[in-house]
Structure 1
């Protein structure tokens, strides 16, 4: 049951990463906030990978075209997903943005069943339906009549992008044929490194002022990277051990961390309706896990 501990740890760290990104998004452009997630994460991932080999040597991986295609696909999709999430934070407050982003769990279940050979029981699909109701509640600002189609579509797109990222990360881990946790550590290091290089080149050539904005906010940028990398270690490790839909549905315990951070640190109010929506998403996670 090691994957459960990794998932809960990842959810906790991701809630903090989202909080740091939410605050940073009020001062830095979308791609800059996206880069903050990866900027200092690569060295941390390298230290983690090296520590594993120093602690207990293992075989080095053999990279094949299929593995590399998964790495590239996951890297690009996660950049897109993170950018969409930052835009989502700008549409509503932090708790609601994070709640809509958690449609990732539902998307992972649907895409996993459709394209990755995952199966769900009737109880599991009941959880998917309840989670969908929770996402619906979170997408309204002051009742059903005020439903924001733009916010809903942005949230669903964000969730689907994160879901595809996770599914490809798991496929990459399985393609390495290395023991745990070396498979997850290699995937983590390669994905984060590629993402950092891509964003640095693009932003540096098109909008250097964004890099300067991050440079002027070193503490918040560093905290975002640290929380992101630690969370990714948890996610990547859990997904190398268990199917993505199960990991992501359990990972919805993040919403409770999200509500606490939103209220205690960001000083944002969470309406009763929003709390109900978040609770329904959590119930969906429990049902899918029980299935």
Structure 2
């Protein structure tokens, strides 16, 4: 049941990372906020990988073209997904943006079954769909009619990009010829490093002012990167051990943490009907844990 602990750690850390990114989005461009997620996470990922080999020696992985495809694909898709989520933060409040982005569980279930050979039990499908409905309720505080078509499509694009990222991360991890947790650590380091290099190169060419601004606000950027590293460590480890739809459905407990952060730290109001949706999320989490 290690995947459950990794998922809970990831959900808790990601809720804080999203909150930090929401704060940064007021002062930085979309690309800048996206880079904040990865900037200081690369050294942390390298330190973790080095520690892992010192603690439990293993062989170096043989990276095939198959592995490389999924590593590069996941790197780019996660950048796209994060950028879309930042755009959501700029359109709606923090809780709505994070909620729409979290509808990736049912998307990953359908994509996984169709293209990646994922199999779910009936109980697992019920949990995935129940969690998806709950997240949609949380994302629409004024009812579904209040959600514009543009915001809904943006949310669907964001959740699809996150779902593809997760599925490709799992494929990349399973393709490496080293044991767990080494394979998860290698995928974590390689993906974060590639993402950092891509975004820094883009900003150096197109928007150096954003880079300067980021180094003038080091505290929030570092907090974002640390929370992101811990979250990615949890997700990548969990997805190396369990099918993505189960991990992402249990990961929807993140909305509990998101609501608490939104209310106490960001001072945003939470409606009473959200309690029902949160209970649905809890039920979905129990179903996938005991599928």
- Structure 2 length normalisation: TM-score? 0.95
Q: Distance in 2 between matches of 1:286 and 1:157?
A: 27
Q: Distance in 1 between matches of 2:143 and 2:89?
A: 19
Question: Does structure 2 conserve the Cα–Cα contact (< 8 Å) formed by 1:75 and 1:165?
Answer: yes
1:123 has 2:123 as partner: yes
Aligned to 1:163: 163
Aligned to 1:224: 224
Aligned to 2:190: 190
Q: Distance in 2 between matches of 1:172 and 1:231?
A: 18
Question: Does structure 2 conserve the Cα–Cα contact (< 8 Å) formed by 1:255 and 1:282?
Answer: no
Aligned to 2:256: 256
Any idea what the Cα deviations from partners look like across 1:141-184, whole Å, max 9, x if unmatched? 52333232222111111111111101111111111021111000
Structure 1 ranges of 4+ moved more than 6 A: none
Aligned to 2:42: 42
Aligned to 2:74: 74
Q: Distance in 1 between matches of 2:60 and 2:129?
A: 43
Any idea what the Cα deviations from partners look like across 1:102-154, whole Å, max 9, x if unmatched? 11111111111111111223333333332343243234352333232222111
Question: Does structure 1 conserve the Cα–Cα contact (< 8 Å) formed by 2:250 and 2:284?
Answer: no
Q: Distance in 1 between matches of 2:230 and 2:144?
A: 37
Aligned to 1:201: 201
Task: For 1:139-178, list aligned pairs within 5 A.
Answer: 139-178=139-178
Task: For 1:2-21, list aligned pairs within 5 A.
Answer: 2-21=2-21
Unaligned runs of 5+ in 1: none
Q: Rate the CA distance shift 1:145–1:251 in 2: closer, same or farther, 3 A.
A: closer
Offset at residue 283 of structure 1 (A)? 3.0
- Give secondary structure in 1 for the equivalent of 2:273: helix
Q: Distance in 2 between matches of 1:145 and 1:232?
A: 34
Question: Does structure 2 conserve the Cα–Cα contact (< 8 Å) formed by 1:13 and 1:231?
Answer: yes
Question: Does structure 1 conserve the Cα–Cα contact (< 8 Å) formed by 2:128 and 2:245?
Answer: no
Question: Does structure 2 conserve the Cα–Cα contact (< 8 Å) formed by 1:96 and 1:274?
Answer: no
Aligned to 1:267: 267
- Give secondary structure in 1 for the equivalent of 2:195: helix
Q: How many residues align?
A: 291
Offset at residue 243 of structure 1 (A)? 1.1
Q: Distance in 1 between matches of 2:140 and 2:148?
A: 6
Question: Does structure 2 conserve the Cα–Cα contact (< 8 Å) formed by 1:7 and 1:238?
Answer: yes
Q: Distance in 1 between matches of 2:50 and 2:77?
A: 26
Question: Does structure 1 conserve the Cα–Cα contact (< 8 Å) formed by 2:176 and 2:183?
Answer: yes
Offset at residue 42 of structure 1 (A)? 0.4
Aligned to 1:212: 212
Any idea what the Cα deviations from partners look like across 1:229-251, whole Å, max 9, x if unmatched? 11111111111111111111111
- Structure 1 length normalisation: TM-score? 0.95
Q: Rate the CA distance shift 1:144–1:135 in 2: closer, same or farther, 3 A.
A: same
1:83 has 2:121 as partner: no
Question: Does structure 1 conserve the Cα–Cα contact (< 8 Å) formed by 2:96 and 2:140?
Answer: no
Offset at residue 81 of structure 1 (A)? 0.4
- Give secondary structure in 1 for the equivalent of 2:15: helix
Q: Distance in 1 between matches of 2:193 and 2:253?
A: 28
Unaligned runs of 5+ in 2: none
Q: Distance in 2 between matches of 1:214 and 1:114?
A: 41
